[in-house]
Structure 1
Amino acid sequence: MERRSEIFDAIRAKPGITFRELARELGVGIGDLQYHLWKLEKEGRIFSRRAGRRRYIFPRGLEEDAQRLLIAISTDTRRRILLLLMEGPMGQKELAETLGLSQPTVSYHMSELVRLGIVKAERSGKNVVYTLSYDPETVVRLIREYRPSLWERLADGLIDLLTSVGDEK
């Protein structure tokens, strides 16, 4: 029971944590973790959502918007895309160039963000322009509230990104 409480506390502290990340952080074996997660789900204390190949674990009662956003920020590339879109709408080519990624890579991440409802895609001639579905202040609030340590890394990343964009001009 002590192990289960430890697992539940870790999920409450870091909602949207992936199964593998939780196992790594707690040093718990896969089978042991699966058992305790199954029990916690059966008790109605947690639930999980699958997105792509990952399973994200949340405490029961977490708002839907927060769930989608926490899944969206689970990868570095998507976090960087969201930071750029907080500045305003951007096209796929512009995102790819700014991030130093291929257009197919950006396309993949954008389709995931659109599917999650975090980003809207609007066709403009041959181009697709992406905008945030959320007010940037909402994004900031949710990140600060649910992942404060991530907020510090995002701020550092934004400073690096803006500095590199400024150097190119």
Structure 2
Amino acid sequence: MKRRDEILNAIRAEPGITFRGLVRKLGLGIGDLQYQLRKLEEEGEVFSRRMGRRRYLFPRDFEEEAQRLLIAISTDTRRKILLKLIEGPTDQKGLSDALGVSQPTVSYHMNELMKLGIVEAERRGRNVVYRLACDPETIVRMIREYRPGLLEKLADGLIDLLAGVGGEEDD
């Protein structure tokens, strides 16, 4: 029971944690964790949601929109796409160029984000323009509340970028 409480507390502390993330965080064996999670799900304490090959874990009664947003910000590329879309609607090529990833990669992640209901697509001639289907402030709030380490990572990236720009001017 102590182990189950430890797992439940970890999921409450980091809702949307992946199964593999929980393995790493708690240092448990995969079989042991699978067994304990099955028991917690049977008791109604936690539930999981699959997206692609990942299994995301949430405490019971965790809000639906929050689940979708936490899954959406769980990967670096999707998070970058969402942050770019906060600036305004854009097409696949614009996202590809801005993020430095291939158009098929953008397409894959956009399909995942549309399945979650976070992004909408609108055909304009030969182009598809993507825009957020949720409030941008909600995305920022989710990052701030549930993934504060991401804000530090984003700030560090901005500082590195500014330091690089500043360094060029000094030369």
CA distance in 2, matches of 1:161, 1:131: 28
Q: Residue in 2 aligned with 1:79?
A: 79
User: Given that residues 79 and 154 in structure 1 are in contact (C-alpha distance below 8 angstroms), is that contact kept between their aligned partners in structure 2?
Assistant: no
Cα offsets for 1:62-118 (capped at 9, x unmatched): 110100011111111001111111111111001001111110110000110011101
TM-score by length of 1: 0.91
Cα offsets for 1:111-168 (capped at 9, x unmatched): 10011101111111111111111111111112212222223223444x27986xx9xx
Bigger radius of gyration: 2
User: Given that residues 15 and 57 in structure 1 are in contact (C-alpha distance below 8 angstroms), is that contact kept between their aligned partners in structure 2?
Assistant: yes
Cα offsets for 1:20-68 (capped at 9, x unmatched): 1100111000010001101111111100011111111000111101000
User: Given that residues 120 and 132 in structure 1 are in contact (C-alpha distance below 8 angstroms), is that contact kept between their aligned partners in structure 2?
Assistant: yes
Q: Residue in 2 aligned with 1:40?
A: 40
Task: State how 1:97-116 maps to structure 2 within 5 Å.
Answer: 97-116=97-116
Report the secondary structure of 2:88's partner residue: coil
Task: State how 1:43-58 maps to structure 2 within 5 Å.
Answer: 43-58=43-58
Q: In the comparison of the two structures, how many residue pairs are matched?
A: 164
Task: State how 1:86-165 maps to structure 2 within 5 Å.
Answer: 86-157=86-157, 159=158
User: Given that residues 66 and 142 in structure 1 are in contact (C-alpha distance below 8 angstroms), is that contact kept between their aligned partners in structure 2?
Assistant: yes
* RMSD (Å), alpha carbons: 1.8
| Stretches of 4+ aligned residues off by more than 3 angstroms | 154-157, 160-163
Q: Which runs of 5+ in 1 are unaligned?
A: none
Report which stretch shifted further, 142-151 or 19-28: 142-151
TM-score by length of 2: 0.90
CA distance in 2, matches of 1:37, 1:104: 35
